[in-house]
Structure 1
């Protein structure tokens, strides 16, 4: 169940409370149903707490304790519930609820006893928009992003100023010095972090700069920093002077770092007064307070100046990273940790397993996915070490020093930006140090901070042109996981290089690939990576690759590698990352080699184990919905509306129409002209509609003659199809129009609408190519396209224009699986269609538009009821009862589609 459905269910619950259709006693059961809790579980609780027990508390073990409140006493009621839990022991304590909840029908209050958070409001109507607070009751935790501290933001902003000052002081440094500048910035950052965290003696770097680079004009700063960088790479302090370190004090004071950070001999830029001052000011900041996962992304903004406006907004948030990592491998490790308990062999087996995990992000940026993965693995390993220590203490066994088996060299990445790669390496080192400090708490001999022992395997390059198995080699003894948030880039936003990448990967592997989103390339490379031995992958993507025509383009190519979807997140709105603006709809898809392991679909409120996950992320057969020229069901033919290709000369607004009428042009040549916009927004437009036998009469009017000459000239210089109609400028280029009643279905519609905008148009209306038309349509057909079932099908298999749905006669209408209908059923559906039209009439008569009528916030109750009555009737034709939610609707539709296409193929054979 997705968030839209949860909000709808809660909206309905609020309405029912207000009208008395739902009692306060039934409120918690309706809450459970709204979030799609198990029907059996809800039924058992209803039997345990019948309506007769009006004053009874309702307990859902480990989940909820609910008590209805008398008017104005909600807060006191929750306080009483909290007090009733004090002192509970044994089974009562074991089954203690996660949530306390009460309402009097107006006020609402809930308390999350695990986090201590509360959610309360004076109007119950606010419940739907706060649906996420109760999600943990149904297995979906509310994550908090890693805290963005003032230190993170202040440090990043200060370093941005320092970076600019260095560039100003080195005007001759062009692109050829980009790598040198990136290495320099990374080393400076490490030195400041090291002196604030105990890796170096306190403030060693800052004091050395202040003492050795005394010239305030910055003229000696370059030499001092060159000495420091050189000293940090030479292990033998006695040999440093002989190998180029000029300052005896620097040679003696600085420790050996290793790890490759200071190995390469790169140029150090010259300094001016401002650059020196900014560096000393930066060294005074609290570098020990930064967060490696956030700070790396902030620092990336230093060299990408277009990102600076939103410091702190360029990292993928912790909740979204965990959506990738947890089901991919973290949950399995945590379950193994829980099962191990205090068993030494089981704990040692877990520690060994963790040490043999490789994590690879082929679009790593500054490395925040890798850093979070590293941190979470270290936390699990440290907990295993803690248990081993405690067991050995109890058994009076010799205590061991525990040193991590997780090497940062087991973390791999690719990014085209050199500085991002250097930042990722630095962030991994910082994270390694921070996690070592946590491990030191249980060790008798802490691990030394220096020298660094290894580095992250981060490669600069185009991930789509590199062999992933060469960058991160799969091995039988290792678990290898690919993760990340690759660039999306729809077809319209791709440049020549992006198009070339897509062509190099997909040519010869799928029939059509030119309209694929760029992110599809990462899934193809990932499928190849899995087939070469990788354990699995999980990537964030726009949901376009799991709906519309892209599915039939991409998935045949993926299936060549023998992969399947191991888990998937249903579409969710991305709201926290500035590079993916709020409103982008995302999914997370995990691929693995085909196996018998369980598969999971994660919704907004809960996850469910399923037998299969198809390319549309549904628990349904592996069918690919491709465009069809004719309907799969017994439906009338639908076509795209009429296209003028006229450079605006056949299309008229009110003013143009009035001018033609004033010039004497008869109404027989002017017709109402409608598409999605006109139908939905109630706009009036017109068109010149001239039949072949009317052309001689039409040409007598100079105003028409001039327009047709304009069209002739335009079409002669346009595309091949338009040129064919240059000598018939009065005709629409695409002209399927027929006389009689027609069904109009909007081609583009807001994602917020629960029903597809559609209507019956009278004879004489010209439906344009921004709508789908069914000519001579039976009235009952309006019920089919207006049903929730059809909207669910559109959402699953139709395309999108930004976040709006795109309706297609070939991909949506022609593929929609509809059982054979009897005459009686068609008659009943016709009556439902008429009820919908009747419900609209009084509002349209008062100038209300379809947009207003189908806005979820303003949709009239009688129109909504007419649609719900239709839904209940139509869905009963399918399965004998209404469907539970869109997930169940789609599972059934996909299965029916598979059966119907199999029958069609058999008949064709």
Structure 2
């Protein structure tokens, strides 16, 4: 469930007759708990509450209902309950159906309210659904409620008006919804002369059956498109009740005023939405949340597009807002400096070429207005209007509805700022009619010319839009002169790794990058925005910063994408290292992202890591405060370590693989066990659940072929390989009893999965015997010294692989040529090897003591056994002392040392011909 769904469930629950026995289970269901969980609680098996009529869900909440008037006593009992502490409850809640009290135990924050009012506090309880509490949602749930109400209305209208759901009319539907949002906001903020004017007019003049609701709305919209001087002569004549609405236009109500037909339910949804207090709407939150309303594919993720203000500021603050605040501090009360700063701000353009519903632009605008208001206060000019124009906040958005909402969100933000800093009277006096200039462009950002949308100084496109909101435009329509202004490009473009790009997106990347970036086909989609921003900044001075998955600063992106741009003069101005970018979905794991700011070369740059800030001379493409390093694949290890080989390719060899039941059947039928091996891929290594395979070093004898279905399986394998277009498989036709490679060990080998989770603190590695075989989903060190395991199982190697290897989504993707062969290791003494051998053996022994637990179970960060954790700690200490004589302070210091050593080792080896990067040849990674 997401926050919108939870709010609706809680609101519905508050309206139901209070049932003392059922309420705790209904509350838990509203927060997404499954029926099987509730069934166990009802049966008493999992309910450890020690309070009468109490329900205790471990690691979640302790709830108790009580008789009328006993809420405070019951609440106190919950706090003192031993079950509350033992069950690690996050919340306690007591209610008698009339009042309700609750407390978040970690923070001590409480709520006390009338029972029917508790839906207004649903944000306080969101952690019950595994959703991190967002302060703006917690303090004011209007945005979530408004999103939910509009979504219900939208879905119902499309059901009633199927023609409006088709491509040729969907923009009309989206435009209609934008008009409604404006009306709801205007009637609650004084923009309309009477509070509630819109909702009350619809309620009064439309039939309860909703038969004429569309006609009433159409007349209201028509009125707002007519100037007072035009109304008397309007044909048809405007109804008297519609005359109460002011002239708005600005493109929002121009063009067709047709409205879709309503059902009685749709009319009810509209009135419910209008009953909310839209004065409290946050345009940066609301716009971000509702952009899924109009998208059929994304509606299931309703409300999950929310981007928190703190996350947005991680981009905007270091990009330019911190500099403005520093200039404000430096100005003090100096009127000349304050005036110069205000003039400077009036010429700043903020451009988001993936603006969605405009949340980055809205936050930038509101923050700049706050600084401007402080300037005016210090100059005793608080009465002055703002000189920061909305048209300086440009955007590109592919979809029409978010583009309309972005414009509307900025208009609402402007009005709210005027009310806050100048007062309601002055704000209203200048708000209507709306300006018809267009500053949000609807189109494909990777195909549009950004210079035409946010042109350099002195180049203007002086056209006015007659229908700003109704017609998607692929051309900015603004009256623009911005002599000497600064440009800042920012946003949160779509990430999409190579495998998830659509055919059209791949073509966009090809058209943009082919011939300029050699490995463009392997790049994340977001690279297109970085590339275009760099090209833009070469034409006119600009700084830019985007949010991107942290894979963009790892593996192939570093050498394949950033190196050509660095060679072309690009420099990172700031970077925010990896953090979780979560949304409002229940139990959302979030995606791990970075923020990268770039532009012209600067003398210093800043790296932000959690709450720390580091100023450095250079930020390299791995987001390290170091020189620029470019780690490329090499064909043999840089250090004195054994080469690593990939496992046996098993494509076109599926006929050789089977499960344990089949193995038992073959053995029972008389097959020699020597012809069967345990078969492991990445998943089988991590979960300790091998499959099995035939292993025939030579042609199988006739008596083996006669067993069960073996001969038939090999015949089918031959037939499949004969049909294959793969040349290698065709070459294996005459040996269908074998894999393409037949790699195995003499005694033992270490197996390293190619793909593994980034959530473990150590890379998975397992020791397998000579009765085991691995697929090409693993790498192997065959009969290698035991001490090599200590290297791979170390935090140092985890850090290195995380930085230099390719990522699959967020998972590690191991590589022998890029990860193992490049791993910089000091020359080891025999004593070093002996110490590391002992460490590896200790890790293996610690694992053995928990047999049959798998790597997945043993290396769960929350459940890792203490003896195994200590064995790894000891291993890390021994290895790290070899590098610097002590433990590293953190992963940043580890990576800095590894890069430093890598640079020295590659410099010493650069003239060796066999150390050249493995370019143009087939890799084994």
Among 198, 213, 237, the residue aligned to 1:205: 198
Among 637, 642, 645, the residue aligned to 1:636: 642
The answer to whether structure 1 residue 435 and structure 2 residue 440 are counterparts is: no
What secondary structure sits across from 2:780 in the alignment?
Answer: strand
Q: Distance in 2 between matches of 1:457 and 1:672?
A: 63
Q: Which runs of 5+ in 2 are unaligned?
A: 1-85, 87-103, 109-132, 458-482, 917-925
Q: Distance in 2 between matches of 1:698 and 1:154?
A: 70
Q: How does 1:282-301 map to 2 (within 5 A)?
A: 282-301=273-292
Q: How does 1:433-832 map to 2 (within 5 A)?
A: 433-441=415-423, 448-453=430-435, 455=437, 457-475=439-457, 477-559=484-566, 561-578=568-585, 581-596=588-603, 598-692=604-698, 698-699=704-705, 701=707, 703-720=709-726, 721-832=728-839
Q: Distance in 1 between matches of 2:751 and 2:269?
A: 65
Q: Distance in 1 between matches of 2:407 and 2:545?
A: 22
Among 312, 325, 332, the residue aligned to 1:321: 312
Q: Distance in 1 between matches of 2:756 and 2:157?
A: 51
TM-score (norm 2): 0.76
CA contact 1:621–1:898 (8 Å) conserved in 2: no
Q: Distance in 1 between matches of 2:860 and 2:180?
A: 55
Shift of 1:791: 1.1
Q: Distance in 2 between matches of 1:719 and 1:861?
A: 52
For residue 900 of structure 1, what is the aligned residue in structure 2?
Answer: 905
Q: Distance in 1 between matches of 2:356 and 2:627?
A: 36
Among 319, 324, 336, the residue aligned to 1:333: 324
For residue 863 of structure 1, what is the aligned residue in structure 2?
Answer: 868
For residue 58 of structure 1, what is the aligned residue in structure 2?
Answer: none
Structure 1, residues 446-488: CA drift from partner, whole Å, max 9, x if none?
A: 8522233465611111111111121122436122112211112
**Compared CA separation, residues 719 and 222, structure 1 to 2 (3 A):** same
Shift of 1:625: 2.1
Shift of 1:707: 2.3
CA RMSD of superposed structures (Å)? 3.2
Among 155, 165, 186, the residue aligned to 2:178: 186
Structure 1, residues 608-666: CA drift from partner, whole Å, max 9, x if none?
A: 11222222212222222222222222221111111233453222432222222222221
Q: Distance in 2 between matches of 1:454 and 1:339?
A: 38
For residue 883 of structure 1, what is the aligned residue in structure 2?
Answer: 888
Q: Which stretch has the larger CA shift, 689-698 or 883-892?
A: 689-698
Shift of 1:735: 3.0
**Compared CA separation, residues 265 and 443, structure 1 to 2 (3 A):** closer
**Compared CA separation, residues 809 and 193, structure 1 to 2 (3 A):** same
CA contact 2:214–2:258 (8 Å) conserved in 1: no
Shift of 1:729: 0.6
Among 383, 395, 405, the residue aligned to 2:387: 405
Q: Distance in 1 between matches of 2:601 and 2:249?
A: 42
For residue 177 of structure 1, what is the aligned residue in structure 2?
Answer: 169
Q: Distance in 2 between matches of 1:353 and 1:734?
A: 67
**Compared CA separation, residues 143 and 352, structure 1 to 2 (3 A):** farther
What secondary structure sits across from 1:887 in the alignment?
Answer: helix
What secondary structure sits across from 1:259 in the alignment?
Answer: coil
CA contact 1:153–1:311 (8 Å) conserved in 2: no
What secondary structure sits across from 1:510 in the alignment?
Answer: coil
**Compared CA separation, residues 781 and 619, structure 1 to 2 (3 A):** same
Q: Distance in 2 between matches of 1:443 and 1:287?
A: 19
What secondary structure sits across from 1:687 in the alignment?
Answer: strand
Q: Distance in 1 between matches of 2:148 and 2:699?
A: 73
CA contact 2:376–2:382 (8 Å) conserved in 1: no
Structure 1, residues 529-552: CA drift from partner, whole Å, max 9, x if none?
A: 222325212211111212222333
What secondary structure sits across from 1:478 in the alignment?
Answer: coil
Shift of 1:728: 0.8
For residue 872 of structure 1, what is the aligned residue in structure 2?
Answer: 877
Q: Which stretch has the larger CA shift, 330-339 or 272-281?
A: 272-281
What secondary structure sits across from 1:816 in the alignment?
Answer: coil
Q: Which runs of 5+ in 1 are unaligned?
A: 1-105, 107-116, 122-141, 390-398
For residue 17 of structure 1, what is the aligned residue in structure 2?
Answer: none
Structure 1, residues 690-737: CA drift from partner, whole Å, max 9, x if none?
A: 113655664454543222112112222334122221211112113343
**Compared CA separation, residues 335 and 712, structure 1 to 2 (3 A):** same
Q: Distance in 1 between matches of 2:611 and 2:722?
A: 57
Q: Distance in 2 between matches of 1:905 and 1:887?
A: 26
What secondary structure sits across from 2:544 in the alignment?
Answer: strand
Q: Distance in 2 between matches of 1:248 and 1:858?
A: 70
Shift of 1:338: 1.9
Structure 1, residues 768-816: CA drift from partner, whole Å, max 9, x if none?
A: 3222112231222122212221111112122334443222212211111
Q: Distance in 1 between matches of 2:865 and 2:200?
A: 72
Q: Distance in 2 between matches of 1:779 and 1:189?
A: 67
Structure 1, residues 291-329: CA drift from partner, whole Å, max 9, x if none?
A: 212222344343235545565332211121111111111
Q: Distance in 2 between matches of 1:541 and 1:824?
A: 44
What secondary structure sits across from 1:242 in the alignment?
Answer: coil
CA contact 1:314–1:578 (8 Å) conserved in 2: no
Q: Distance in 1 between matches of 2:310 and 2:857?
A: 35
Shift of 1:382: 0.9
Shift of 1:422: 0.9
Structure 1, residues 589-614: CA drift from partner, whole Å, max 9, x if none?
A: 11212222x21221123121122222
Structure 1, residues 661-699: CA drift from partner, whole Å, max 9, x if none?
A: 222221232233334334333334332111136556644
For residue 95 of structure 1, what is the aligned residue in structure 2?
Answer: none
**Compared CA separation, residues 581 and 491, structure 1 to 2 (3 A):** farther
CA contact 1:429–1:455 (8 Å) conserved in 2: no
Q: Distance in 2 between matches of 1:797 and 1:808?
A: 9
CA contact 2:572–2:596 (8 Å) conserved in 1: yes
**Compared CA separation, residues 698 and 150, structure 1 to 2 (3 A):** same
What secondary structure sits across from 2:696 in the alignment?
Answer: coil
Q: How does 1:211-222 map to 2 (within 5 A)?
A: 213=205, 222=214
Q: Distance in 2 between matches of 1:346 and 1:245?
A: 57
Shift of 1:883: 1.4
Q: Distance in 2 between matches of 1:144 and 1:541?
A: 24
**Compared CA separation, residues 610 and 642, structure 1 to 2 (3 A):** same
Shift of 1:435: 0.3
**Compared CA separation, residues 594 and 432, structure 1 to 2 (3 A):** same
The answer to whether structure 1 residue 343 and structure 2 residue 348 are counterparts is: no
Structure 1, residues 733-762: CA drift from partner, whole Å, max 9, x if none?
A: 133435344232232333232222224434
CA contact 2:758–2:810 (8 Å) conserved in 1: yes
CA contact 2:219–2:239 (8 Å) conserved in 1: no
Length, aligned pairs only: 763
Q: Distance in 2 between matches of 1:669 and 1:347?
A: 84
For residue 68 of structure 2, what is the aligned residue in structure 1?
Answer: none
